[in-house]
Copies of this chain bind each other. A is one copy, B any other.
């Protein structure tokens, strides 16, 4: 039976939810990354990702400057780094250095890959929509990469308050 509740209460039922890292780079080559839960595939031909990023975020500013970004699937082993990247601001500190996130060069864009992620998608910014209080950045995927360790699992937010873990099928 369904019970009507306030929207935030119903949203507590959305977990586990996969999380991605969005990696960007400044004009002078300094990388940044943030954790994003609001993302989605939005086209298959061409292949496109949508990522929702607040216009105040440093990542938003960098994507506007350089025009590209990487969508990475962090692995279940990267919970600590992902939590750090999702709860600190790149305006104020070098998040990549502080959490020792290992990066590697992309093949077609300036933003780098997350070396130990499950997969990485190189994206070129195509357009930005804003239906509500958050911009939706649309990126066309121009290259994709997977980890050579194909046993690695993705990372999920498994409960509110940023509780992160891998998940396995229930049965």
Contact = CB atoms under 8 A, between A and B. Distances in A.
Interface of A: 1-7, 9-11, 13-14, 16-18, 37-48, 50, 52, 73, 76, 104, 107, 113, 115, 117-121, 126-127, 129, 131-134, 136, 138, 140-141, 143-148, 150, 153-154, 156, 158, 165-171
B131 A138 contact: yes
A168 B131 CA distance: 33
A17 B167 CA distance: 10
9 contacts: A1-B104, A3-B145, A4-B107, A40-B50, A41-B52, A43-B134, A48-B131, A126-B131, A166-B171
Given A144-B6, A166-B171, A119 B13 contact: yes
Contact of A1 (B48, B147, B165): B147
Given A169-B166, A170-B165, A14 B73 contact: yes
A125 to B, nearest CB: 11
A45 B54 CA distance: 12
A38 B41 contact: yes
A80 B101 CA distance: 41
A1 B43 CA distance: 28
Contacts of A38: 40-42
B16 A169 contact: yes
Given A50-B136, A166-B169, A167-B170, A14 B144 contact: no
Nearest to A166: B170
A167 B76 CA distance: 14
B132 A46 contact: yes
A69 to B, nearest CB: 15
A8 B120 CA distance: 12
